């Protein structure tokens, strides 16, 4: 009984929310109009692009282009030194010494243990059996 009444209560709450949502949408549609044709406002004056307006526009476009180019740069190309503590960790990325691929202290080649050898033998046997059975 308790779960049944709880389900009914939840259903009623959801219905109330839906009704509020429907009323809100109806009010919005009543007071809003969708415009699909746009025209220029005849009361606003549009100035000519000569004189200092044009110089100002060129100046702002040039600055905008420079800012966009600068934003695409890496921090090491923007600044001469790291700006934050986290940048200090990777600021100098050149290795301190050249490491040879033959040095076994730093590079470990692939090696097989007993389990991998055993599995390789079993897989080769299975593939041979499948080839014979076909």
For residues 74 and 19, what is the distance between their CA atoms, to the nearest angstrom? 53
What contacts 88, CB < 8 A, 6 or more positions away? Answer: 82
Position with higher pLDDT, 53 vs 7? 7
Assign 32 a pLDDT band (cuts: 50, 70, 90).
Answer: confident
What pTM was estimated for this model as a whole? 0.30
In the block, tokens 């055993």 appear at 118
Least confident of 31-35, 57-61, 69-73: 57-61
Q: In the chain, what are the domain boundaries?
A: 1-35, 52-91
């Amino acid at each position: 009984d308790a779960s049944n009444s709880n389900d009914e209560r939840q259903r009623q709450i959801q219905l109330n929310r839906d009704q509020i949502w429907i009323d809100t949408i109806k009010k919005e549609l009543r007071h809003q109009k969708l415009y699909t044709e746009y025209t220029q406002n005849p009361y606003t004056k549009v100035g000519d692009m000569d004189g200092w307006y044009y110089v100002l526009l060129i100046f702002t476009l040039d600055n905008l282009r420079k800012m966009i180019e600068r934003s695409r740069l890496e921090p090491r190309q923007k600044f001469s030194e790291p700006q934050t503590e986290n940048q200090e960790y990777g600021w100098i990325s050149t290795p301190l010494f050249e490491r040879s691929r033959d040095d076994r202290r730093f590079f470990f080649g692939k090696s097989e243990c007993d389990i991998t050898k055993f599995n390789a033998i079993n897989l080769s046997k299975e593939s041979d059996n499948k080839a014979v059975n076909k």
